[in-house]
Structures are given as structure tokens and as C-alpha cells.
Amino acid sequence: MNFEYTEDDKKFIEEFRRFCEKEIGPFAEEIDEKGEIPRSHFKKLADMGYTGMLVPEEFGGTNLGYLKTVYAQEILAEYCGATFFSVGASCGLMGLPLLEFGTKEQIQKYIPSLMSGEKIGCLGVTEPDAGSDVANIKSVARRKNGKLLLNGQKTYITNAPIADFATVLADYQEEDGKSYGLTAFLIETNRKGVSKGKPMKKMGLKGSPTGELFFEDVEVYDSDILGRRGRGFMIIMDAFNRERLSLGAYCVGTMAACLAETRKFSRTRKTFGRPIYKHQSVAFMLADMLIKYEASRVLLHETAWMMDEYSSKKKSVKHTHNGYPVDLTSRTAELKLMASTYAREVCNNAVQIHGGAGYMEEYKVARLYRDIKIGEIGGGTSEIQKQIVAHSEAKRIK
């Protein structure tokens, strides 16, 4: 892989940064305070082409690939984590599996309005008793008197309070209780029997609404099934590979923001007659931040490049790492585990270097510190990521 940006990349990155600096960054504090993202953010990012970067041309996208997408994701995360999450849940978590497994009709029904920012989507997997333990999902679509009725509850769902559409994972059962396994259903949230809880109060990412979805005898149809009946688990696991890549970009972007803020602060803040970056303990913390940021960024870019290779060669490519084949599930888990651990540490250093000021909401690092914890929880906790990596490593040793 060549790590040098092409002229085209440079132009794209500069343009996208200018856009975020003007249209996203200045609103981040207000979004955090109000606990709400303006709908115009979705539309502006769509107009900028951000939401269509992984969408094929035939469906109105630019299909620029994962590497270019993570360049843009890093920048958006640097300016506003809440916007990053909500737009990502709509276009990434809901949109990308739809593009990969949806029928032409389903794609035409949902994708244009999701990608234009006119409608908002979400992905409903987690339930009160099923987070890490996805197989314990209790939501069920069961046939009754010829109708297929969905009952259940989803929780901690990004965008649930504002979503127009949802992909919902539920067991598919026949009238006699025979199960076909977890199945992904595409549903409009204004369908009879669907209701939403209030936005949940969170420690961070306050502008990105999170909440519950309830399903009471919601009539669903076979035409609502994404992919095939019983293939929901596989579809969601595939979606999680992309989610982990995207969370890696979120962590890297947040680390970049911490570095920028802390460099600025440590240059101007003076103690004992000199700028604080000249004190060795502070300089070492800054060095530590830089190392963690750069190491994560290299892993992020290499993983994105592998995913581009993997999709362009239709999954036949085998990457090697020290002579071993690389499995992308494990690689994206490795990335998220490392980048989220480092990002939490980097945010901690950023606040520490700001001293008392770092504890004050008027400094950006306070928000970054609150926001970043999601990296170690969302898209599968760090403990689950380690299990994935360990499982893959054990297969290589065998």
C-alpha cells in the first residue's frame, strides 16, 4: 500500500475539511448542549457527497471506496462526534447492508431518501437482554392467522427517537413456533404498532439521539426481509465489520482533535515562567498522544485499503500478515480495540494537560473526553473485540 496522498486525495481532503470547519464545527457545542442535531446537517453532508461515498453510481453515489471514506470520516469526527454518529447510523448502519443485501425495489424505496438526508434511518439490534449476546434476541416475527406479526423491543438505538426507517433484527417463526432464525426486517417507523421511547440521557454524544423502539403486533411482510429469512445474523455481522472500521475512523478523528486543541493550549498556557509544553511531563504526554494517534491511523488506513481490495476482488483476495491470512472480521476488531483504547487515553491526556480548564465545558476537550467512551462500547465492547481477535489467532496457531 502506498501511504502518499494523490493530488486528488489532497484536494478532496482540503475541500472536506473546509466544509466541516465552516458548516459542522461551529455548531458542535450547541448540538451538545441542546441534545439535538439540525436536520440540515444530514442534508449538507449529503450535498457534499459524504453520504454517497460507498454508494454505487447506479444508485446516485460516487463509490469512492473505504480509504477515501475514512479520510472524510476522520475529519467529520474531528469536528462533531454526534453528527458523525447519527449520519453514520442512518447511511452506514442502515444504508450499507441494504445496498449489499437489498433487492432493487428495497434499495429504490429507502436509499435515495436516506442518502439525501431527507429521511433518517437506524439499525435495531440491541435489546434489554441482548447486547453482546446477540443470539439472545427476544423480538420475534411470528405468523398468526396468515399474518406475520412483529413483537419486541430494541434499546440504545442511535437515531431511534428521530428515525423514519429502521432495520430490525428478530427471530422469524411459523405459526407452530418453528424458528427460521434471526432475520433482518426493513420497517417504516410510522407503521401501525411501532412506537418510540424518549431520547435517553447520555454522558456523551448528547446531540446524537439514542432511544428505544417498541413493536406491538406490527404487520411485516416477506418483502420487508433484507437478504433472506434466517440470514439476519450473518448480515449484521457483516455490517459490524464496516461499523468497526468507521468507529476506528471516529477514534482517530477524535485523537486528531485532542492533539490540535492540546498543542494550542500548551503553547499559550504558561506556568513557572514557560509554556507548559516545555515541562518534560507535559511533553511526554504529548509524545504519547502523537504515537497513539499515528499508530491507530496507520492501522485504520491499511484496514480500509484491505477492505477496498476485498470488495474490488469480490472476496477472493487473501491478505497476508507475517505469512498468515488476515481475516477482516478480526482485523476490524483489532483496529477498533486498539483505536478506542488509545483514543480514551489520548482524551484523558488532553484533559490532564488542560488542567482545571480541561474540566470546564467551554473547552472542547471536555466534550471529546465524554464522547470518546462510546468507542469501547458501541459496535461491540472491547472485551468482545478481544475475543474475536483471540479466536482468529487461535485458528492460525492450530
Q: Which amino acid is at 164?
A: D
Strands (E), 161-260: 165-173, 179-188, 194-196, 210-220, 225-226
What is the separation of C-alpha 89 from the centre of its chain, rounded to a whole number of angstroms?
Answer: 6
Q: Which residue is closest to ligand FAD by CB?
A: 131
Are 67 and 308 in contact by the 8 Å Cβ rule? The answer is yes
Beta carbon of residue 160, minimum distance to ligand FAD (angstroms, whole number): 8
Q: Which amino acid is at 113?
A: S
What is the separation of C-alpha 376 from the centre of its chain, rounded to a whole number of angstroms?
Answer: 12
In the block, residue with C-alpha cell 452506514: 92
Residues near ligand FAD (CB under 6 A) are 89, 93, 122-126, 131-133, 156-158, 202, 205, 210, 374, 377-378, 380-381, 383-384
Helix (H) or strand (E) segment spanning residue 267: helix 232-268
Are 119 and 130 in contact by the 8 Å Cβ rule? The answer is no
User: Could you tell me the three cell numbers for 265?
Assistant: 493550549
- Residue 203 or 360: the one with the smaller Cβ distance to ligand FAD is 203
Beta carbon of residue 250, minimum distance to ligand FAD (angstroms, whole number): 12
Which amino acids are annotated catalytic?
243
For the chain, the first-to-last Cα distance in angstroms comes to 29
Beta carbon of residue 316, minimum distance to ligand FAD (angstroms, whole number): 31
Residue 159 to residue 95: CA distance in whole angstroms:
13
Residue 190 to residue 182: CA distance in whole angstroms:
23
- Residue 148 or 169: the one with the smaller Cβ distance to ligand FAD is 169
- Residue 127 or 302: the one with the smaller Cβ distance to ligand FAD is 127
Beta carbon of residue 157, minimum distance to ligand FAD (angstroms, whole number): 5
- Residue 60 or 131: the one with the smaller Cβ distance to ligand FAD is 131
Beta carbon of residue 21, minimum distance to ligand FAD (angstroms, whole number): 26
- Residue 78 or 212: the one with the smaller Cβ distance to ligand FAD is 212
**Angle in degrees, 0-180, between the axes of helices 328-354 and 364-372, rounded to the nearest 10:** 150
Phi, psi of 4 (to 5 degrees): -75, 135
* Contacts of 148 by beta carbon, 8 Å cutoff, 6+ apart: 141, 142, 172, 219, 220, 221, 222
Beta carbon of residue 25, minimum distance to ligand FAD (angstroms, whole number): 21
Residue 381 to residue 199: CA distance in whole angstroms:
22
Residue 133 to residue 248: CA distance in whole angstroms:
22
- Residue 111 or 384: the one with the smaller Cβ distance to ligand FAD is 384
- Residue 54 or 384: the one with the smaller Cβ distance to ligand FAD is 384
Phi, psi of 89 (to 5 degrees): -65, -40
Beta carbon of residue 86, minimum distance to ligand FAD (angstroms, whole number): 10
